A and B are shown apart, each in its own frame.
Chain A
Amino acid sequence: MSATLEIRGLCKSFGGIVVADSIDLDLTAGRVLGLIGPNGAGKTSLFNLVCGVVKPDAGSIVLDGQSLEALPTYERARMGLARTWQNLRLFPSLSVMDNLMLGPRSYSADSLMDVFFRPSQIRAHEAEARDRALDILERTGLSPIAQSRVQDISFGQQKLVGVARALMNDARCLMLDEPMAGVEGQTYALIQKAVRDIAASGVAICVVEHNVAFIRDLCDEGVFMFAGKVLARGSVEQLINDPHLTELYFGT
Chain B
Amino acid sequence: MDYVFTILILIGLFVILASSFDLVIGHCGLISIAHPIFYAIGAYISAMLSKQSGMPIPLSILCGGVGALLASALVAVPALRVSGDYLLIASIGFQLGLIELAKHFHEIGGAGGLTNIPSFLIKDFGRESYVVLVLVLAVATVLFIRWLTQGPYGRMMTAMRDDELAFSMLGRNAIWVKVAVFAIGSGIAGIAGGLYAHYFRFLEPDQFGLLQSSAVLTMVVVGGMRTTMGPVIGAIVLQLMPQIITFFNLPPSILGPLQGLLFTGLVLFFMFVRPQGLLPAADLWVGRNRDGDAGHSRKEARS
Contact = CB atoms under 8 A, between A and B. Distances in A.
Interface of A: 51, 53, 72-75, 77-78, 82-83, 85, 89-95, 97-99, 101-110, 112, 115, 122, 126-127, 130-131, 134, 146-147, 149, 165, 168-169
A122 B159 CA distance: 18
22 contacts: A72-B168, A73-B165, A77-B169, A83-B169, A91-B167, A94-B162, A97-B291, A101-B155, A105-B171, A107-B152, A107-B170, A107-B171, A109-B155, A115-B148, A115-B151, A115-B153, A130-B294, A130-B298, A146-B291, A147-B292, A149-B284, A165-B170
Contacts of A130: 291, 294-295, 298
- What is the predominant secondary structure among interface residues of chain B facing chain A? helix
B168 A134 contact: no
Contacts of A101: 152, 155
B127 to A, nearest CB: 33
A107 B151 CA distance: 12
A99 B284 CA distance: 12
A51 B168 CA distance: 10
Nearest to B181: A112
Given A89-B163, A95-B284, A122 B152 contact: yes
Nearest to B226: A93
B161 interface: yes
B289 interface: yes
B173 to A, nearest CB: 5
Nearest to A96: B291
Given A92-B162, A93-B284, A109 B156 contact: yes
Nearest to B167: A102
Contact of B180 (A97, A98, A112): A112
B302 to A, nearest CB: 10
Contacts of B294: 126-127, 130, 134
Interface string B260-290: 0000000000000000000000011111010
A212 to B, nearest CB: 28
Contacts of B148: 115
Contacts of A51: 169
A136 to B, nearest CB: 13
A252 B10 CA distance: 74
B171 A169 contact: yes
Contacts of B291: 95, 97-98, 130, 146-147
A85 B166 contact: yes
A74 B172 contact: yes
Given A93-B283, A109-B151, A110-B173, A102 B156 contact: yes
B129 to A, nearest CB: 29
A58 B23 CA distance: 41
B162 A103 contact: no
Contact of B285 (A82, A94, A105, A126): A94
B174 interface: yes
A94 B159 contact: yes
Nearest to B297: A127
Contacts of B180: 112
A94 B158 contact: yes
Contact of B168 (A77, A99, A122, A146): A77
Contacts of B156: 102, 107, 109
A221 to B, nearest CB: 25
A235 B153 CA distance: 46
Contacts of A105: 171
Given A73-B168, A102-B155, A115-B152, 18 more contacts: A73-B165, A75-B171, A77-B168, A77-B169, A89-B163, A91-B159, A91-B166, A91-B167, A93-B159, A93-B162, A93-B284, A98-B287, A107-B170, A109-B155, A110-B172, A115-B148, A134-B298, A165-B170
A99 B291 CA distance: 12
A109 B161 CA distance: 16
Contacts of A146: 291
Contact of A108 (B152, B161, B162, B286): B152
A102 B165 CA distance: 13
Nearest to A114: B152
Residue from the set A73, A92, A127 with the largest chain B CB neighbour count within 10 Å: A73
